[in-house]
Chain A
Amino acid sequence: MSTISKPWDKDPVLTVEHLTMRFGGLVAVNDLSFSAGRGDITALIGPNGAGKTTVFNCITGFYKPTTGMMTMRHKDGATHLLERMPDFVVSKKAKVARTFQNIRLFSGMTLLENLLVAQHNPLMIASGMTFLGVLGIGGYKAKERQAIEKAKYWLDKIKLTDRADDPAGDLPYGAQRRLEIARAMCTGPALLCLDEPAAGLNPRESAELNELLLGIRRDEDTSILLIEHDMSVVMEISDHVVVLEYGTKISDGTPAETKNDPRVIAAYLGVDDEEVDKVEHELDEVQAHHTQGSGQ
C-alpha cells in the first residue's frame, strides 16, 4: 500500500501538505495532507465537526491556514500556492470555484444574472474596465452575448433553462443547489469544491446531482472535490475518498477501501463497550500498517 501506486498522486490538480488550522486553542485541522487527482471526483468525508468545511475554507482562501501548503497545478503547468492568495484571487487566478453548505445565491437576481455575475472577470475586461462600456464602444455587446450563451449551456445542463428569467430566490431547494453548482462552473474552474451538494435533496434529486457531477467530470476540464454526508453519493461517484475525524486524516483510498476501513467504521458507527478492546487492538495494527506504508 505504498503511496506511489495511488493514481491521484501521479498528476494531482491539488496537493494539500501539512495543513493545520487553529482557532485559539482549538485545532480544527491537524497536519492534513492529501492530493486530489486531475479529472477525479475526490470526496472529503467525516463525522460532524471533523473540520471538513474548515479545509474547504482554507483551500478557497476564506481562512488563512496556521501552517501548511496548498498547491494548485493547472494543465498548462502553472502552479499556484493557495495559502498566499486572498479569497477572490483563488477563484480568479488559481481557478478554484466553490459552493456553500448553506446556499448563497443572489436571490433577488435572475438565474441568468447569477450566471453572468460568475463571469465577471472576463466581462470586466471586455467592457474596458467599465470605461469603454459606459460610452458604448468596444466589443462588450458581443462578449456579453457569448457570456449569455455560456450561461444558457449551463442552464441546459442543470435543466433550468425555462426558468432563466425568474429570480433565483423563487427556485425550489434542489434547483437552487444545482444553480449554485452551475454558477461556480461559469467561472471556468480547474477545481470545483462542493460543500455538501446533496444535503436536503430527495433521492431523485440526489440521483440527478450524481448525473450532473459525472457529466462535469466527463465533459469539462474540471476536477471535483466534495464534502458529503450522503454515502450513496460518495460511494457511487467518487474516485477517491479522504476521511477526517477531529481534524485528522484517518483514511485515504478508493471508496471500497475506505468503506471497509475499521477506523472509518468506528468513527461513523462507534463500537460497543465490550468490543472496545478488540477494536483498539485492530486499530493499533492498522496504525502500524499505515506508518509502515507512509514511511516508505
Chain B
Amino acid sequence: MTSNTTKKAGPDLGKAFKDAILAGIIAFALLGPLIGLKTDQNMDNQLVLVNNMPVALIFVALVMVGRFLLAAFIYPAIAAKGAKSKAAVSLAELEAKAKRTKRLSLGGLVFLFVYPMLILALFGVQGSIKWVDNFGVQILIYVMLGWGLNIVIGLAGLLDLGYVAFYAVGAYSYALLAINFHLSFWVLLPLAGILASFWGMILGFPVLRLRGDYLAIVTLAFGEIIRLVLINWKDFSGGSAGISSIPKVSLFGLYSFDMGATNNFAKAFHLAASSAYYKVFLYYLILLLALLTAFVTTRLRKLPIGRAWEALREDEVACRSLGINTTNTKLTAFAIGAMFGGFAGSFFAARQGFVSPESFVFMESAVIVAIVVLGGMGSMIGVALAAVAMIGGTELLRELSFLKAVFGDDFNPDQFRMLLFGLAMVVIMVWKPRGFISARQPTAFLFEKKTISGDLVKEGHG
C-alpha cells in the first residue's frame, strides 16, 4: 500500500488521505469497543456500560493524523534518503557535516556558560532552581559520565556495563572522607578520582582477559557487587540508609554555602538567602569538570595511548603484532574512564548531600551506556547530545501535566517515562543505527583532515 506512495517524488496527498481513512476505520474497529465502551459497576453492584466514546475518538484521530503524516511525508522522505545513502555519501557532504558539528559545539559551549544567567534573568532567583538544578546540573552529570564511559566503550571498544560502580566509589569516597576526616571537597575531588581509577584497575586485572559478552557480564556483576557491599557493610557505609548531611562544596574555602556560616555567600554579597546561588555554583562546577573530561579525552586521542585504544577497538590481534601491550592499554582505558566516573561521583555526593546504594543501581549503568551508544560511540558531541535527549527528555516528561486535560486526572506522564524512553531508543536505532554522530575525526593528518565515515569504523568486541 505504501510502496506506491514512496515511489513518487512529491507527497501524494490524496493517496495519503485514503490511507489515513483506512487506518482510522481499522483503529475505530479495534479501539471503539476496547476504549469507547467501558464496563463498570454502579452503586447497586450492577454491571453497567459507560460510554467512553470521546476518548476512543481522540485516539482514532491521533492514529489517522499519524498515518497521514507517515504516508504523505515520512515514508517518501525515508525512501529518498535510502536512495541517496545507497549512492555513497560524498566526502564533501561529510566535510560539511563535520563543519556544522564544529559550529554547533562552539555555539553549545557559549550557551552552556550563559545558561544560568539566562535562567536567572527569565525566572528570577527562586524560579531558576528547577531549571538550573534539574535540567542543567542533572544533564551535565550525565554528559560527564557519558564522556568518561566513552573512553572505555567508544574509544577502546570495551563494553563496560558496571560503570556506575566507579561513580559509587567516587561518591562514597567523598561522603566518608568528608564526614570522618573533615577534608574539603577540593582535596577529596582528586582523591575520589584516584580511588575510583584504583578500583578500575582492580577490576581490570582479572576481567580484561575476557572479551565481548563475557566482559560485559563480569563488569555488570562488579557493579552489583559494589552496590551489595555498600548495602550490607553497615558499619562502613551505613547500609541502605545511606550517608546523609554530607558537607557542601565551598567556593575554594572563601565563601561557604551553608546557611549558618559566617562567610555565607548570599550574606557576604547582601543577597536574599536562597539555595539558588549554590545551584548556580554547582552548575559551573560540573560544567568545568565535564569540560576537563572533554579536554583530557581529546588530548589523549592525539597521544599514542589514545591511538592504541582506537586501534584496539579496530583489531586487537593486529595491535599485539605491532608490539602494543594490550592488557596495559585496556587497563589504562578502564582506569581513566573510572577516574572521571569518580570525579562525577564525588560531585554527585556533594550536590545531593546524601548518598545511598539506591542511587547506584544497574539502571544507572544502562542509562550511561545508552547515552554513549545513542550518541555514536567515540563522538564527544554525539554523547553530549544524547545526554541532553535522554536526561532532559525524561525530565521534560514531568512537565507534561497539561496532558491531564486530555486524558483525565488519572493520567500521570511520569509513568510513561520508560515506555517513551524505549520507543525513542527504537526510533533512533532505526533512523541512525550508529548513533547521532557516527563519523570519526582522524587524530593526525598529512595534507588535510578528512572525516571518516562511520561505516568503516569498527565497534570493538571486548
A146 in the interface (beta carbon within 8 A)? no
| CB–CB B453/A167 < 8 A | yes
| CB–CB A110/B450 < 8 A | yes
Q: Which of A150-189 contact B (CB under 8 A)?
A: 151-152, 155, 161, 164-167, 169-170, 183-184, 187
| CB–CB B440/A165 < 8 A | no
Q: Given A148-B444, A165-B446, A169-B456, is A120 in contact with B322 using a C-beta cutoff of 8 Å?
A: yes
Q: Which residues on B sit within 8 Å (CB–CB) of A97?
A: 321-322
Q: Which residues on A sit within 8 Å (CB–CB) of B457?
A: 107-108
| CB–CB B324/A107 < 8 A | no
Q: Given A108-B440, A124-B304, is A91 in contact with B310 using a C-beta cutoff of 8 Å?
A: no
| CB–CB B307/A120 < 8 A | yes
Interface residues on chain A, size class: 35 or more
Please, how many angstroms separate the alpha-carbon atoms of A123 and B307 in the complex? 11
Neighbour of B452 across the interface among A104, A108, A144, CB < 8 A? A108
Neighbour of B322 across the interface among A134, A155, A170, A187, CB < 8 A? A187
| CB–CB A134/B296 < 8 A | yes
Of B299, B320, B440, B458, the most chain A CB neighbours within 10 A belong to: B320
Please choose the segment from B143-151, B164-172, B179-187, B311-319 that sits at the chain A interface, where 4 or more of its residues have CB less than 8 A away: B311-319
A92 in the interface (beta carbon within 8 A)? yes
Q: Which of A115-157 contact B (CB under 8 A)?
A: 116-121, 123-124, 127, 130, 133-134, 136, 140, 144, 148, 151-152, 155
Q: Which residues on B sit within 8 Å (CB–CB) of A62?
A: 317, 320-321
Of A106, A119, A165, the most chain B CB neighbours within 10 A belong to: A106
**Shortest Cβ distance from A164 into B: residue:** B446
| CB–CB B445/A88 < 8 A | no
Neighbour of B450 across the interface among A118, A152, A165, CB < 8 A? A165
B323 in the interface (beta carbon within 8 A)? yes
A113 in the interface (beta carbon within 8 A)? yes
| CB–CB B456/A167 < 8 A | yes
Q: What's the least CB distance linking B314 to chain A, in Å?
A: 4
Q: Which residues on B sit within 8 Å (CB–CB) of A187?
A: 322-323
| CB–CB B456/A104 < 8 A | no
Q: Given A108-B458, A130-B303, A169-B456, is A118 in contact with B448 using a C-beta cutoff of 8 Å?
A: no
Mark each residue of chain B from 72 to 98: 1 if its CB lies under 8 Å from any CB of chain A, else 0. Answer: 000000000000000000000000000
B326 in the interface (beta carbon within 8 A)? yes
A226 in the interface (beta carbon within 8 A)? no
Q: Given A88-B323, A165-B450, A167-B456, is A130 in contact with B300 using a C-beta cutoff of 8 Å?
A: yes
**What is the total number of residues of chain B having a CB less than 8 Å from a CB of chain A?**
38
**Shortest Cβ distance from A114 into B: residue:** B311
Neighbour of A110 across the interface among B300, B323, B324, B445, CB < 8 A? B445
Q: What's the least CB distance linking B292 to chain A, in Å?
A: 11
Q: Given A100-B318, A104-B315, A130-B332, is A110 in contact with B325 using a C-beta cutoff of 8 Å?
A: no
Please, how many angstroms separate the alpha-carbon atoms of A166 and B443 in the complex? 12
Instruction: Please classify the interface of chain A as helix (H, G, I), strand (E, B), loop, or mixed, using the class held by over half of its residues.
Output: helix
Neighbour of A140 across the interface among B303, B308, B326, B440, CB < 8 A? B303
Q: What's the least CB distance linking B457 to chain A, in Å?
A: 3
Neighbour of A109 across the interface among B299, B303, B310, CB < 8 A? B310
Q: Given A113-B442, A120-B323, A165-B447, is A170 in contact with B317 using a C-beta cutoff of 8 Å?
A: no
Q: Which of A92-108 contact B (CB under 8 A)?
A: 92, 97-98, 100, 104-108
Please, how many angstroms separate the alpha-carbon atoms of A106 and B457 in the complex? 8
Taking Cβ atoms with an 8 Å cutoff, the residues of A that contact B are 60, 62, 87-89, 91-92, 97-98, 100, 104-110, 112-113, 116-121, 123-124, 127, 130, 133-134, 136, 140, 144, 148, 151-152, 155, 161, 164-167, 169-170, 183-184, 187
Q: Enumerate 8 A-B pairs (CB-CB under 8 Å) in ascending A order.
A: A62-B317, A88-B323, A88-B324, A110-B444, A110-B452, A155-B446, A164-B445, A167-B456
Q: Besides A87-B320, A100-B321, A148-B446, 14 other CB < 8 A contacts?
A: A62-B317, A62-B320, A88-B325, A89-B323, A92-B325, A104-B321, A105-B318, A108-B452, A109-B314, A124-B304, A124-B305, A127-B304, A136-B299, A165-B442
8 tightest Cβ-Cβ pairs between the two chains A and B: A108-B457, A91-B323, A92-B323, A106-B314, A169-B456, A164-B446, A104-B318, A123-B304
